[in-house]
Amino acid sequence: MSIAETATDAGNMHNPSSTAGAAGSGLGRRSFLGYVIGGTTLVAAAEFAAPARSDAVVPSLPQVPELYDLEDLQTDAALPTSALISVSINKDGTASFAIPRAEVGQGITTSTAMILADELDLPVSKVKVTLAPARPELVFNQLTGGSNTTVSTYTPIRVAAAIARNALLDAAAIELGYAVARLRTYDGLVEAPNGTTIGYGELAEKAASPETKQVEVALKEAADRKVVGRPHNRDDALAAVTGQKDFSMDLDVKGALPTMVCRAPTLNGTPRRLKNRKKIKRMPGVKDVVKVDTGIAVRARTFGQCIDAIREMKVVWNKGSAEGESDQTILAGLRRAELPMVVPNVPILADQIDADFAFAFRSSAALEPNCAIADVREDSAEIWAGLKVPILAQQNIAAAIGLRQDQVKVNVITSGGSFGHKLFSDAAIEAAKISKKMKKPVRLMWHRADEPRQGRLHPMCTSRVRATMLGNEVLSFEQRNTSVVTDFSHGLGEIITSTIDEAPTDVGKALGGLGFSETIFTLTQELPYNFGAVTQLLNETDDRFNTGSMRNIYSPDTAVASELVIDMMAKKMKMDPLEFRLKFIKDDRTRACLEKVAKEGNWGRKMPAHRAQGIAVHKEYKGATAVLVEIDTRPSTVNRKIRNAVTGPRVTKVVMAVDAGLVINPRGLEAQMQGGFMDGLALTLTSSCHLRNGKFLEASWDNYFYTRQWNVPRKIDVHIMDPGVDQPGGAGEAGVPASAAAVACAYARAVGKVPTAFPINHGEISFKPKTFVPPVPKSPTNGLKFTY
């Protein structure tokens, strides 16, 4: 009996209502190829053909993402090597799988365990999902980003699990003395018709294959799923709430003492020399002091002593990368680089709206600051860090310390958040350089102040929109984003595409004139409305900043601009914002989300003065979102006082609807949407970085106003749509754009004026900037005064 037939029969026994019989004859269910890997316990790996894409059929000219989007680019890039992804069955009855992605809080270890559990017929608690170290053989298949993890791994990991289950059934057939067709699997057991059971653990060795062999397998039908699609709590929640969840800085690596870097007062300034080295070396706890390209590194017994040493350092600095520049000068540069509109601005009969928005720099820093442990020896190195692109980190670290790639082991540790920040391996590379120079293991952590001042930011950008209307029709909608260069040097996670990004002029031309950023913009932006001639273009200029994606790449800014203009168009046509959107919306899935929030959120209810509703949609990540909010901008609310807090307008109610395709874990998806809302809220109302004279002023969370409890809406409902598809969509970033846009639309309606710069409070600096020399603030000593 072949493996493929085994799958069919077993599936049939397991669920008599399934159409497994048809699959056996090659009809109906698609079969997939994979491997049982040679070894002493069972290991199954997946190989699979390109998944069929459901190419959209649309009445008007489609934009690129409707046919081929960033998800497809990433998924296709992952295809050739997915065969190397394997599931092991262990002697203790558990299954283990090392996912070549980073867990940064988005819940992929949990959702992946759920997918495996379903296909294996094993309890979720017995599926152990860990993070794979850098595996260069995976090439394009080890980048965590673009909300792509489940989109790209869903099928291959199911194939591997299905093959493992079949091999277990084959082994059980011999042990139990029944044909596979008469066995069933549940809860990690194989059961014979006479009620005898045998556990997967007992079968793990028996099911092993001495050699690697290719097998064919069919996957479970949707109706057979018992785990996928049902709410499941996170696999690491207990560890998180008991303080046992280990992040990079919690790992016990021998000799890796606390290490920090004294950084320049101006952006990207470099050190010339440390003037008081002897004094610093004599300070309590200080062990090592070295100069690296980013500053003066100090290694000490405690981080507190590193901070004290940094505050005493007298350093001569070279100039930074943006000397003398401020928000205004950078914005002026963007204005000069703006691309022209196609439609002339003097329409004869038509109405036209011209709008122009500016978006400030924002910090993508997570609560866990940039950090890494590095132990660099003469002929080897080992790194521990939260890395979304570990292969590229390995390549860059090897280059930085003069080792071969295979001499550098890179361990991927669960991160305390990412939001795009951990797409870059800045701390890991820096730690490796410091360790090499000190000849000792180091536990490098950035001070919080280093993050907004020297860390990755979402670039400042402008978004201009020109919409032309005639009567009740929209003739054209043009959007032009102009941005400080977004760093995509992570490419698709390895050196080849990374190199493309670093040399956009040569290779970009070869790719049809698009650099990597423009390609990403084209692959992600999609306006889900029938607005006649739609063009959305990006131009980037000025590469002097440390930038990157920030829980989305371009979408939140693009969505804020386009949805605000849509409200303006509706007003011009004397239509209600919802009615207008419903008239022009392009596809049924986005429409369904919009209708859902309108109904659940009671759209159109009468609001008192200074309060308003706002509604917005976004389509990306193989799905769609809609958000309805109510905002309160009464002076008594805006000016409410909380110690050291930026309060401002308060969103009082949020209703979200998300279509994320096939949902693996609704509880996790709801969490991602709630979190995405908090990001969108901050982007529109409160959080930004101010550039003044070559320096970013922000230095901590009392300067950088990410959403806090006093900003949080007291009511937030998330509705999960069921589009009836078998393709998972993205979740991590999906909640942000429509949230940012809905808050902006509500604010504009509440105050009766459309803001043109975001966040709306960027114009005022509501804090006293902390010192630049020394670059880190003094550690307070009055903590016992604030006990409660």
Residue 698 tokens, joined: 């922000």
The residues in 210-239 that bind other proteins, with binding defined as CB under 8 A, are 233-234, 236-239
The residues in 517-546 that bind other proteins, with binding defined as CB under 8 A, are none
Measured from the CB atom, is 584 or 705 closer to other proteins? 705
Residue 416 binds other proteins (CB under 8 A): yes
The 653-682 site mask, x for binding other proteins (CB under 8 A), equals: --------------x---xx-xxxxxx---
Which are the contacts of 250, defined by CB distance < 8 A and separation ≥ 6? none
The residues in 339-398 that bind other proteins, with binding defined as CB under 8 A, are 365-369
The residues in 253-272 that bind other proteins, with binding defined as CB under 8 A, are 258
Q: In this structure, are residues 516 and 609 in contact, taking their beta carbons and an 8 Å threshold? A: no
Give the separation between CA 89 and CA 622, rounded to whole angstroms: 32
Measured from the CB atom, is 194 or 787 closer to other proteins? 787
The single residue among 415, 481, 536, 684 that binds other proteins, judged by CB under 8 A, is: 415
CB of 427 to other proteins, least distance (A): 14
> Is the omega angle on the peptide bond into residue 759 within 30 degrees of 0, that is, cis?
yes
Measured from the CB atom, is 311 or 377 closer to other proteins? 311
Measured from the CB atom, is 110 or 479 closer to other proteins? 110
Stretch that binds other proteins, among 37-45, 64-72, 557-565, 774-782 (CB under 8 A): 774-782
Residue 284 binds other proteins (CB under 8 A): yes
The residues in 590-619 that bind other proteins, with binding defined as CB under 8 A, are none
CB of 549 to other proteins, least distance (A): 15
3-state per-residue secondary structure call for 193-229: CCCCEEEHHHHHHHCCECCCEEEEEECCCHHHCCCCC
Closest among 425, 426, 424, 443 to 297, alpha carbons compared: 443
Give the separation between CA 651 and CA 684, rounded to whole angstroms: 11
By DSSP bridging, strand 533-541 and strand 473-484 are: parallel
Residue 440 binds other proteins (CB under 8 A): no
Q: What is the CA radius of gyration of the chain?
A: 28
By DSSP bridging, strand 362-363 and strand 473-484 are: unpaired
CB of 80 to other proteins, least distance (A): 31
CB of 105 to other proteins, least distance (A): 3
The residues in 619-648 that bind other proteins, with binding defined as CB under 8 A, are 642, 644
Which are the contacts of 353, defined by CB distance < 8 A and separation ≥ 6? 465, 466, 467, 469, 565, 568, 569, 572
Q: In this structure, are residues 646 and 704 in contact, taking their beta carbons and an 8 Å threshold? A: no
Q: In this structure, are residues 27 and 35 in contact, taking their beta carbons and an 8 Å threshold? A: no
By DSSP bridging, strand 623-632 and strand 695-696 are: unpaired
99: β partners: 131
Stretch that binds other proteins, among 60-68, 336-344, 505-513, 778-786 (CB under 8 A): 778-786
304: β partners: none
Instruction: Count residues binding other proteins (CB under 8 A).
Output: 78
CB of 777 to other proteins, least distance (A): 5
Give the separation between CA 397 and CA 385, rounded to whole angstroms: 12
The kind and range of the H/E element at 459 are none
The residues in 683-722 that bind other proteins, with binding defined as CB under 8 A, are 700-702, 706-710, 712-714, 716
Measured from the CB atom, is 178 or 706 closer to other proteins? 706
Residue 104 binds other proteins (CB under 8 A): yes
Residue 123 binds other proteins (CB under 8 A): no
Measured from the CB atom, is 539 or 647 closer to other proteins? 647
CB of 654 to other proteins, least distance (A): 9
CB of 740 to other proteins, least distance (A): 13
Largest CA distance in the chain: 85
Residue 765 binds other proteins (CB under 8 A): no
Three-state DSSP at 560 gives helix
Q: Which amino acid is at 472?
A: N
| H-assigned helices in 585-634 | 588-600
Measured from the CB atom, is 12 or 415 closer to other proteins? 415
The residues in 452-481 that bind other proteins, with binding defined as CB under 8 A, are none
The residues in 288-317 that bind other proteins, with binding defined as CB under 8 A, are 301-305, 307-308
Which are the contacts of 15, defined by CB distance < 8 A and separation ≥ 6? 221, 223, 224
The single residue among 55, 92, 246, 406 that binds other proteins, judged by CB under 8 A, is: 246
Residue 784 binds other proteins (CB under 8 A): yes
